[in-house]
Amino acid sequence: MAEAKTIIQDRISKGRNSHVPFYETRCHGAQDISGELWQRITRILGAEKQGDIVTLRQDAIDLVNEAIFLVMFLDRERRA
């Protein structure tokens, strides 16, 4: 968890995170997030095949984040 917070702070300091609410960044809803999950899985498989542990690890963290975003998005839609 501490490492994830460090990554987030690093990305904020580089201007990668914006002040736009999360739900407004996904105009196609769960479909956008599912696409991100697929992309991360594909990158993980490629990194594993090449033995690139650093990329594999970073994309695994991003995969978990996107999965959490999907759960948040689905919970929000269910409540609406």
Q: What is the DSSP letter of 1?
A: -
Which structure tokens are listed for 8?
A: 């987030």
Q: How many CB atoms lie within 10 A of CB 69?
A: 19
The ranges assigned to domains in the chain are 23-79
Sequence letter at residue 59:
D
Q: Determine the pLDDT at residue 42.
A: 95
Question: Cα–Cα distance between 73 and 62 in angstroms, integer?
Answer: 16
Average pLDDT of the segment spanning 51-80: 91
Q: What pTM was estimated for this model as a whole?
A: 0.67
Question: Cα–Cα distance between 69 and 13 in angstroms, integer?
Answer: 22
- Interval 10-45: pLDDT, tens: 877 776 666 666 667 777 878 888 999 999 999 999
Q: What percent of the chain has pLDDT over 70?
A: 88
